[in-house]
Amino acid sequence: MFSDTIQGEGLHTGVISTFIRLQGCTLKCVWCDTLDVWPEGNEYTFDEVFEKFESVGLIDRLKAGQHLILTGGSPLKQQEGCVNFLKAFISRYGFKPYVEVENEAVLMPTRDLLDLVDWWNNSPKLANSKMKDRARIKPLILYFMNKLPNSTFKFVVNNLEDWNEIQRDFIEPGHITKDKIIIMPEGQTQEELNTTRGLAAEIAIQEGVRFSDRLHVTIWDRATAV
């Protein structure tokens, strides 16, 4: 858990946020930038988490609009726990914070979780993840998430071939519409981003989709909890 930082990617880039990183993931991408953290976990009761929030005065900042982001790994591997946690928060403090979920879009969200999430940051993986197509491309789930009004899809690109893959495997089959797509440059360090940012922006402009930098890397270089 880390708070009073910024959302570094996607539609809400730059918004002050608190992150809760959950253990476990449905995939294991070769380039994963959080592989050093999500395979391990620490068990906390809800009360222990709330006490940590209270000890730094976080509840007031969440009430004032700081986002609460459930990330991983894969938060949807623990959907029931996420629902119970958010309901316990609401019961204890009398309000629901603005909730974002980072989601690789291979598990279907439950109705209970859908009712509690304000924004879905979906991040389908490309072939460069070295994951098999059947593990990372779930057409029915992609189509469902695309229909949600509070849902976007982030794709990390390194070259024009990556965009061609997005077009071929996600847009043309009708899984995702272009208006939902956000293009981001590949790079886990400032130096790497400097070599891919321009191309990613050019692709976004040419294809008429949204561009997002990776602001946390731009500011703090390689970091998984800042």
**Residue-wise pLDDT tens digits, 172-209:** 999 999 999 999 998 888 999 999 999 999 999 999 99
Could you tell me the two tokens for 132?
């098999």
Task: Give the pLDDT confidence of 58-104 residue by residue, as tens digits.
Answer: 999 999 999 999 998 899 999 999 999 999 999 999 999 999 999 99
pLDDT of amino acid 185: 94
Given a cut of 60, whether residue 226 has pLDDT beyond it is: no
Taking the C-alpha atoms of residue 9 and residue 190, their distance in angstroms, rounded to an integer, is 15
Does the pLDDT value for residue 54 go beyond 80?
yes
Neighbours of 198 (CB within 10 A): 11
Distance of CA 154 to the CA centre of its chain: 8
What pLDDT was estimated at residue 72?
86
Residue pair 28/131 in contact (Cβ under 8 Å)? The answer is yes
7-11: average pLDDT: 94
Contact partners, residue 77, CB within 8 Å, separation at least 6 = 22, 24, 25, 26, 107
Element (H, E) at 183: strand 181-185
Contact 62, 18 (CB under 8 A): yes
State the pTM of this model: 0.91
Percent of the chain with pLDDT over 70: 92
